Structure formats: structure tokens, C-alpha cells
């Protein structure tokens, strides 16, 4: 701005600031450093200082100069309030070259940090403790300044990021240099105005930053040559590494589809072989070992002809294959006794499975063929419904087949008013909970208890009721083993239980062999690493 180039900023100073400058220049009169050509041409002469300086301060100043002339030559005066421009003073151009306006000068770069540390532009002119020895004060001040200098020097050391961290930084995301103006940087000096020469001055107009083109940030990873060499070496090292040793136990423990197929094939072959060959070599269970099954046979044998027998058919479709031979043996015995079968179930699938058994195994039986049995259907409502049915069989809400006549209209069921009017209650249950519900809810209502025909998985729980007092469970037979046993009791050699018994025997044998072989293999592959490690430790020792 040419309009300002011809003006001297010192001319615009107020009177009080001009007087302060004059006093500072007078204080620098004896300083050798101050004898250099002054920055401002209007600096006052040295003779005016004693007239304006108090006497006591003059004595301190003179004593200080006598005692430490060398230190005074290096350090600013205590009364010196003028800011130092170290490089600017030393490298100041001649007078003829100072036509450039002061506010266009770049702030001097402070190269000598010691000058900054010693710079005390706002030191008071007089010490607040005049009684104290000035030498002591100077010594302590000098030591403190040295400490501050050391701390500042450590603090301003630039951090050096490791190369790998620098490589992680996206290239161009951060400016490599400080984009702030020199006046905003720490240490910058005000070049013009009343604060000219002072450092660390906030800009007068911070809301007007320098308008410049923003840096272009690259989204790509910038890799230097050195980093590329390290990456290549690391990649080569990874490629040359040997794979970790395979854990044999872990490898075997992983799901093995082949083993699944082998086990399935072995079991299928073991079961199908006796069925295909009509094998009858397996010895059926001894009835003397199962008195609870013998009790059932005895109870069924005692059922009067034509009397209703309640069959609670609590069978799940998944266990139908196991239950079918046993149910067939029991129902066959009951039908031989000409009992009137009455089916009921607390499972929705129970009536359908009961009809399936009758259709598959007893379609030729006259009672079944003529429909001389009763299907009460599904008893919904869980335990409450079961309790209601046991308390009042005729009053229970049953979901019979729509369109079919009321089963209670059958003349054979006329004598049934309570549960104990049935000549026998048979619980056919594939789960322990269903059997337990019937046993517990009917306890006390059946003087002779009921009999249970269950799957093998339900037998252990229901067996605990066999010796209860009062009697709740009089007989129990379970699984394919129970079917074979019951057919043996009835001297039946062509029943479904007898056919299944050999298949069961072969299937169990195959499973036992598989478990044993698998257990031995598991032991062996665990012992092998232990032996290897033991041998290795011996060699090492």
C-alpha cells in the first residue's frame, strides 16, 4: 500500500509511548549492544536519562554495571522495556535501504533462542524489593532464566513419528507445513503499529484468514521407497515362514462328514441285515429279571371279556418305531381278551398314531375291523384337562372327530362314570413326563394302580413309582426289549418284537463297537503327542 510507505510509524506514536521509548534508548546508552545503529532514527540521546531516572535506580544501575560489565553486555537492562529484535538489529540494512515501510517488514526470525530467554520486555523498571542485594537478585534471575530456557528447549523439540506410523497416515490428509501466517506463529513480532516489535501478539483481525487454495488430499497410501523395501522384506519373510504344526487332536475333533457317513452306514447295515435274513438267533430277555413286565401280563390276563380298558396313547411320532412293537404286543393281548379298547390322548398326534397302529397291525382283527373300540380323541388343556378327565371322564371336553357320534353313546361305556370303572388303565407313553402326569393325577383313584407301556428313555423315571404306597404303578414294560420280553411271555414267536429283537441286537453291537473304537482312537491320539513330548524332553536333557 503506497499510501503508507512514506509515513514513519514512529511519528504516529502517542506522546507517552514516545517518552517511554526515549527512556529506553537512554538506558541503552551505556550498553555496548545498544551503541549499534538504532532501529528507529528518532532515538533520543543518552544525556537525558539521569534527569528522568530516580536516584536510587541510578545507583543500582551503576553498581550493577560495575560488578557485572560482561553480563550486562550480554543481557538486557532491567529497565529495558524495549523489545529486542535480535536478527533484525544485527542484520538491519543501512539507513538508505530502510525506505521500506516498517509494517511490510517480515518479522525477524529469532535464531538465537538465548536472546529470547533473556528477553524481558515487560520487566518493571524498579525492583519491588529495594533492600535486597541486586547481585543476589541478578543471580537468581539468571539461574531461573537458564532453567526456563532448558525447559523450553526440550519442549520445542519436534516429535519424530516412526515411519510405519507416517505410512499409516493417508497421504495429503494433513498439510506438511503450518499454513498459518508468520505473524500468527509463536515468536513472530508485530511489524507495525503501536505494538511493533512485540512478539506473540494476536492478530488484529483473526476473522480474516488468508484465503488460499486448500491443499489437495490424496486418498491413496503414499509409500516411500524405504517403506516399500520394508514391506517387500516383510512379505518375503511371511512367505518363507513354515506353517504352524497341526494339532492332531483338534484336527480330529473337527466335524468329519466322512465319519458321520461311516457311522450311519454301519448302523444301517447292522440293523437291516437281520431284518433281511429273518434272523432269530438272539436270545430274548429272561422274564424272571423283569417282574414288572410279568405283572402286566398277569393284569391283562385278568381283564374280563367285553369290559372297557382305557388306553392313554401318549406317543410322539418320532418314537413310534420303538413303541410300535411293544404297543402291538399289549394291544394284541388285550384284543385277545376281548376287551373294549377306549383310546384317549393329551397329545394332538396321539389319536392319529393310535389309529395308525390299529390300521397297520390289527386291520384283520374283528373288533378293529368292526369298529368295536372307542376313540375319545384329543384331550386338550394339559394337566388341568387330565385332572378333569380323571375326576369326571364323561364331563371332560374332548375333541373327537367331527361328524362322528358321541363315543359315550356306545353301550360298552355305559358303566363308565369314574376312572376306576375301567377294568384296566394302560398308559402308553413315549416320554417320562406324560407317564408321570397320569400316574400322579390318578393316584388314589385306582385301587390297583395302572400299567405303563413306555419307551426305553422314559422307563428309568417311571420305575421309581413301581414300589409306591399306595400303589400307583403296578406294571412297567419298555422299549424293544420289553416287546421281546412280552412276546416271550405270550409264547409269541412271529411278533413284531421278535423281528425287531435281532435287529436291535445287531444295532447295539455295532454301536458298542463304534464307541469302543472311537474311545481307543481318542486315547491313542492323545497318548502319541505325550510320548513325543516326553521323548523330546529326554533328548533335550
Partner 1 sequence: MNLRAGTPVAAAVAIAAGIFILVSLFIPGFEELRNRFLNWAVLLAALAMLLGLVNLFVVHFDRVRNKQKPLYSVVLIVAMLATFGITVWEGSQGPLATWIFSNIQFPVEASLMAVLAISLTLAATRLMQHRNDLMSIVFVITLFILLVGSGPLFGIEIPIFTRTLGPYLNQFLSTGAMRGLLIGVALGTLLTGLRILVGADRPYGG
Interactions with partner 1, residue window 445-504 (CB under 8 A):
456, 459-461, 463-464, 481, 484, 501-502, 504
For residue 540, state whether it binds partner 1 (rule: CB under 8 A).
no
* Residue 393 DSSP code: G
Least Å distance, CB 405 to partner 1, is: 13
Residue choice 124, 318, 366, 371 for contact with partner 1 (CB under 8 A)? 318
Task: Give the range of 129-137, 170-178, 319-327, 331-339 binding partner 1 by CB under 8 A.
Answer: 319-327
In DSSP terms, 64 is beta-bridged to none
State the minimum distance, in angstroms, from the CB of residue 487 to partner 1: 14
Contacts 24+ apart (CB under 8 A), 401-404: 401/375, 401/377, 404/375
Helix or strand holding residue 507 (H, E): helix 496-540
Using alpha carbons, list the distances in angstroms from residue 486 to 279, 296, 305, 315.
19, 9, 20, 19
Is residue 282 within the footprint of partner 1 (CB under 8 A)? yes
525 binds partner 1 per the rule CB under 8 A? yes
Q: Is 286 in the site for partner 1 (CB under 8 A)?
A: yes
**In the complex, minimum distance from the CB of residue 272 to partner 1, in angstroms, rounded to a whole number:** 13
285 in contact with partner 1 (CB under 8 A): yes
For 285, the 3-state DSSP assignment is coil
CB of 414 vs partner 1, minimal distance in Å: 20
In the complex, least distance from residue 179 CB atom to partner 1, rounded to whole angstroms:
51
* Residue 331 CB, nearest approach to partner 1 (Å): 19
Three-state DSSP class for residue 377: strand
Selected range binding partner 1 among 47-55, 238-246, 310-318, 405-413, rule: CB under 8 A = 310-318
Q: Which alpha helices (H) appear in 39-175, and where do they start and end? A: 49-52, 55-67, 69-74, 86-90, 113-118, 134-155, 163-168
Q: Identify which of residues 186 and 444 has a Cβ nearer to partner 1 in the complex.
A: 444
Among 516, 528, 534, 535, binds partner 1 (CB under 8 A): 516
* Nearest-approach distance from CB 520 to partner 1, in angstroms: 8
Residue 6 in grid coordinates = 512514506
Question: CA 82 → CA 23, 101, 120, 124, 182, distances in Å?
Answer: 10, 20, 9, 12, 21
Contacts of partner 1 in 254-273 (CB under 8 A): 259-260, 263-264, 267
CA-to-CA separations, 327 to 129, 282, 358, 505, in angstroms, rounded: 116, 21, 10, 20
Position among 100, 515, 534, 536 found at the interface with partner 1 (CB under 8 A): 515
Q: Where are the alpha helices (DSSP H) in 362-495?
A: 366-369, 382-391, 432-441, 459-462, 479-489
Backbone angles phi, psi at 208, to 5 degrees: -115, 75
Closest contact distance (angstroms) between CB of 263 and partner 1 is: 5
Residue from 137, 149, 320, 408 binding partner 1 (CB under 8 A): 320
Does position 168 interact with partner 1 (CB under 8 A)? The reply is: no
How far is residue 299's CA from residue 447's CA, in Å, rounded to a whole number? 13
Which 8-state DSSP code applies to residue 375?
Answer: E
371 binds partner 1 (CB under 8 A): no
User: How far is CA 121 from each of CA 76, 115, 124, rounded to the nearest angstrom?
Assistant: 9, 11, 9
Residue 502: Cβ-neighbour burial (10 angstroms; 0-12, 13-18, 19+): buried
Determine if 364 is a binding residue for partner 1 (CB under 8 A).
no
Which is nearer to partner 1, 137 or 320 (by Cβ)? Answer: 320
Q: Tell me how far, at minimum, the Cβ of 261 lies from partner 1, in Å.
A: 10
Instruction: Please spell the DSSP secondary structure of 301-349, one letter per residue.
Output: HTPPTT-EEEEEEE--GGGHHHHHHHHHHHHHHHHHTT-EEEEEESSTT
> Does position 378 bind partner 1 by CB under 8 A?
yes
C-alpha–C-alpha distance, residues 50 and 46, integer Å: 9
C-alpha 89/C-alpha 211 separation (Å) is 32
Q: Interaction with partner 1 in 383-422: which residues (CB under 8 A)?
A: 384-385, 387-388, 391-392, 395-397, 399, 401-404
* Least Å from the CB of residue 220 to partner 1: 38
Rank residues 135 and 518 by Cβ distance to partner 1 and give the closer one.
Answer: 518
Output the smallest distance, CB 317 to partner 1, in A: 4
Q: Which of 50, 517, 528, 534 binds partner 1 (CB under 8 A)?
A: 517
Q: Identify which of residues 164 and 268 has a Cβ nearer to partner 1 in the complex.
A: 268
Q: Which of 4, 35, 523, 528 binds partner 1 (CB under 8 A)?
A: 523
Q: Per rule CB under 8 A, is residue 514 in the interface with partner 1?
A: yes
Q: Please tell me whether residue 48 binds partner 1 under the rule CB under 8 A.
A: no
DSSP of 14-49: -HHHHHHHHHHHHHTSS-TGGGSPPSSTTPPPGGGH
Amino acid at each position: 500500500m503506497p499510501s503508507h510507505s512514506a509515513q514513519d510509524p514512529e511519528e504516529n506514536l502517542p506522546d507517552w509511548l514516545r517518552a517511554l521509548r526515549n527512556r529506553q534508548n537512554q538506558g541503552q546508552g551505556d550498553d555496548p549492544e545498544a551503541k549499534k545503529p538504532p532501529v528507529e532514527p528518532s532515538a533520543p540521546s543518552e544525556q537525558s536519562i539521569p534527569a528522568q531516572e530516580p536516584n536510587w535506580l541510578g545507583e543500582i544501575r551503576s553498581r550493577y554495571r560495575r560488578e557485572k560489565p560482561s553480563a550486562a553486555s550480554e543481557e538486557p537492562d532491567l529497565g529495558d522495556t524495549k523489545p529486542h529484535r535480535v536478527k533484525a538489529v544485527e542484520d538491519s540494512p543501512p539507513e538508505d535501504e530502510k525506505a521500506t515501510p516498517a509494517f511490510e517488514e517480515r518479522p525477524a526470525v529469532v535464531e538465537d533462542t538465548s536472546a529470547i530467554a533473556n528477553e524481558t520486555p515487560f520487566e518493571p523498571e524498579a525492583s519491588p524489593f529495594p533492600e535486597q542485594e541486586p547481585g543476589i537478585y541478578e543471580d537468581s534471575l539468571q539461574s531461573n532464566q537458564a532453567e526456563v530456557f532448558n525447559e523450553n528447549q526440550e519442549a520445542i523439540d519436534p516429535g519424530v513419528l516412526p515411519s510405519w506410523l507416517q505410512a499409516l497416515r493417508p497421504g495429503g490428509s494433513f498439510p506438511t507445513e503450518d499454513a498459518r501466517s508468520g505473524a500468527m506463529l509463536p515468536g513472530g513480532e508485530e511489524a507495525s503499529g503501536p505494538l511493533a516489535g512485540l512478539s506473540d501478539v494476536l492478530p488484529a483481525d483473526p476473522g480474516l484468514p488468508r484465503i488460499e487454495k486448500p491443499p489437495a488430499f490424496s486418498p491413496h497410501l503414499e509409500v516411500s521407497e524405504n517403506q516399500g523395501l520394508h514391506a517387500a522384506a516383510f512379505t518375503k519373510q511371511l512367505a518363507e515362514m513354515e506353517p504352524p504344526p497341526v494339532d492332531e487332536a483338534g484336527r480330529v475333533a473337527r466335524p468329519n462328514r466322512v465319519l458321520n457317513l461311516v457311522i450311519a452306514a454301519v448302523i444301517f447295515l447292522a440293523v437291516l441285515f437281520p431284518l433281511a435274513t429273518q434272523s432269530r438267533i438272539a436270545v430274548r430277555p429272561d422274564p424272571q429279571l423283569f417282574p414288572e413286565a410279568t405283572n402286566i401280563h398277569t393284569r391283562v390276563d385278568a381283564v374280563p371279556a367285553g369290559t372297557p380298558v382305557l388306553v392313554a396313547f401318549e406317543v410322539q411320532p418320532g418314537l413310534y418305531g420303538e413303541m410300535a412293537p411293544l404297543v402291538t404286543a399289549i394291544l394284541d393281548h388285550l384284543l385277545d381278551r376281548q376287551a373294549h379298547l377306549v383310546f384317549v390322548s393329551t397329545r394332538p398326534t396321539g389319536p392319529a398314531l393310535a389309529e395308525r397302529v390299529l390300521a397297520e397291525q390289527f386291520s384283520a382283527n374283528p373288533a378293529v375291523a368292526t369298529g368295536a373300540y372307542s376313540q375319545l380323541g384329543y384331550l386338550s388343556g394339559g394337566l388341568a384337562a387330565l385332572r378333569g378327565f380323571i375326576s369326571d371322564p364323561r364331563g371332560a371336553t374332548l375333541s373327537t372327530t367331527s361328524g362322528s357320534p358321541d363315543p359315550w353313546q356306545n353301550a360298552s361305556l355305559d358303566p363308565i362314570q369314574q376312572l376306576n370303572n375301567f377294568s384296566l388303565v394302560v398308559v402308553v407313553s413315549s416320554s417320562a413326563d406324560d407317564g408321570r402326569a397320569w400316574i400322579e393325577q390318578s393316584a388314589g383313584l385306582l385301587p390297583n394302580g395302572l400299567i405303563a407301556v413306555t419307551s426305553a428313555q422314559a422307563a428309568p423315571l417311571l420305575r421309581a413309582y413301581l414300589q409306591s404306597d399306595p400303589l400307583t404303578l403296578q406294571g412297567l414294560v419298555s422299549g424293544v426289549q420289553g416287546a421281546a420280553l412280552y412276546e416271550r411271555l405270550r409264547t409269541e414267536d412271529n411278533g413284531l418284537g421278535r423281528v425287531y429283537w435281532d435287529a436291535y441286537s445287531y444295532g447295539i453291537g455295532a454301536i458298542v463297537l463304534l464307541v469302543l473304537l472311537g474311545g481307543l482312537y481318542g486315547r491313542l491320539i492323545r497318548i502319541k503327542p505325550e510320548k513325543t513330548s516326553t521323548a523330546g524332553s529326554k533328548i533335550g536333557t
